[in-house]
Amino acid sequence: MLASMTGFGRAIFDAPFGRLIAEIQSVNRKYLEIFVSLPKEFGRFEHDIRTCVGEKISRGQVSVRIHVIPSEYATLAQLPNPQALKELKRGWEKIARSLGYDSKTIDLPFLMLYSPIQQKVNLAEDQDLEAVVKCLEEALEGLIKMKIKEGKALSVDVKRRLAAMKKNLKAIESLAPEASERMKKNLVDKMKELQASPELDDRILRETLLFADRVDITEEITRLESHFSQFYEMFEGKERTIGRKMDFLIQEMGREINTIGSKSFDAKISHLVIEMKSELEKVREQIQNIE
């Protein structure tokens, strides 16, 4: 159920007032941002459209565009009443004659310019909201299908990188005892060098404590393995909006990897840590696009 924040959906719906075209596009953002573009006659439906989108999408920048191609009936309904225009024409001609002007100057452009009869510009009625919502929901369905498809591709890439990191962690775990023995040998050699020093006890204690702190990476390895397991559980779960949780886990994994690198002076382990950091950064980039 992993879903990307990137996608596009489009739907066409034939309503009594005309043809509706809904287009929805989403890109990645930390929070949900909804931008709506509507014909002016549908402006009062904006709140309902935002609510509909918010029920299906939790993160990302979502742009919604609604277009309307009026039906023949709707187009004709916007025209002024011919009988009313005839009455107005007679009235204006009478006024023109009384003022000494030619009544022929009262033509259609004059009537449309100075007529108190206004064209009907508001096509949208309360019952039209149902058609708008149906068209919007169909476009949302297409958007979500694309988001899930993109999410599957992201999950394949992320799982591959996690597998590489787990392999490197196993290698570090196998190298840790050997690295510990080498560090211990170096410590013993230093202790022998200090045998003639009057400050022998304090310096040995400091070296021993430093050794114990730097060499033991068991806890970091255990926690990192736990983070890997949690990641895979998210992939197998039914929850779709897991991007923020994954981002939090990535931060925790980065801390453990950095600690392992700082505690170990073994060249092989350091090389593996660098590889893990590289893979983790690529995973972090991919997670930024997960809803």
200-234 tens-digit pLDDT: 556 665 666 566 556 678 888 999 999 999 988 88
Query: What's the confidence (pLDDT) of residue 80?
Result: 73
pLDDT average, residue stretch 9-17: 90
Query: What's the confidence (pLDDT) of residue 267?
Result: 85
pLDDT band at 102 (very low <50, low <70, confident <90, very high): confident
* Verdict on whether the full-model pTM lies above 0.75: no
When comparing pLDDT for 104 and 51, which is higher?
A: 51
Query: What's the confidence (pLDDT) of residue 215?
Result: 64
H or E stretch at 204: helix 200-215
Query: What's the confidence (pLDDT) of residue 205?
Result: 57
- The residue among 144, 177, 168 whose CA lies nearest residue 278 is 168
pLDDT average, residue stretch 106-112: 82
Query: In the numeric block, which tokens belong to residue 44?
Result: 């009062």
- The residue among 60, 24, 226 whose CA lies nearest residue 151 is 60
The DSSP secondary structure of 91-105, one letter per residue, reads HHHHHHHHTT--GGG
Q: What SS3 class is residue 15?
A: strand
Other Cβ atoms within 10 Å of 101 Cβ, number:
13
32-68 tens-digit pLDDT: 999 999 988 888 899 999 999 999 998 999 999 999 8
Query: What's the confidence (pLDDT) of residue 171?
Result: 92
Mean pLDDT for the chain?
Answer: 83
Name the least confident of 1-10, 170-179, 190-199, 266-275. Answer: 190-199
Query: What's the confidence (pLDDT) of residue 45?
Result: 92
Answer yes or no: is pLDDT of 107 > 60.
Answer: yes
Q: What SS3 class is residue 210?
A: helix
Other Cβ atoms within 10 Å of 246 Cβ, number:
21
> Cα(288)–Cα(291) distance, rounded to whole angstroms?
8
The DSSP secondary structure of 247-290, one letter per residue, reads HHHHHHHHHHHHHHHHH---HHHHHHHHHHHHHHHHHHHHHTTB
Can you give the three-state secondary structure of 149-172, one letter per residue?
HHHHHHHHHHHHHHHHHHHHHHHH
Query: What's the confidence (pLDDT) of residue 27?
Result: 93
In angstroms and rounded to an integer, the radius of gyration of the C-alpha atoms of the chain is 36
- The residue among 132, 155, 166 whose CA lies nearest residue 4 is 155
- What is the architecture, at CATH level 2, of domain 150-287? Up-down Bundle (1.20)
Q: Where are the domains of the chain?
A: 7-73+125-147, 80-114, 150-287
> Cα(89)–Cα(95) distance, rounded to whole angstroms?
10
120-164 tens-digit pLDDT: 544 557 778 889 999 999 999 999 999 999 989 999 999 999 999
CATH class of 7-73+125-147: alpha beta
Query: What's the confidence (pLDDT) of residue 142?
Result: 96
Mark 201-234 as b/e (b = at least 16 C-beta within 10 Å). Answer: eeebeebeeebeeebebeebbeebeebbeebeeb
Q: Which residues pair with 23 in a beta bridge?
A: 10, 65
Answer yes or no: is pLDDT of 165 > 50.
Answer: yes
Answer yes or no: is pLDDT of 193 > 70.
Answer: no
241-271 tens-digit pLDDT: 788 889 999 999 999 999 888 877 778 888 9
Do the Cβ atoms of 290 and 284 come closer than 8 Å?
no
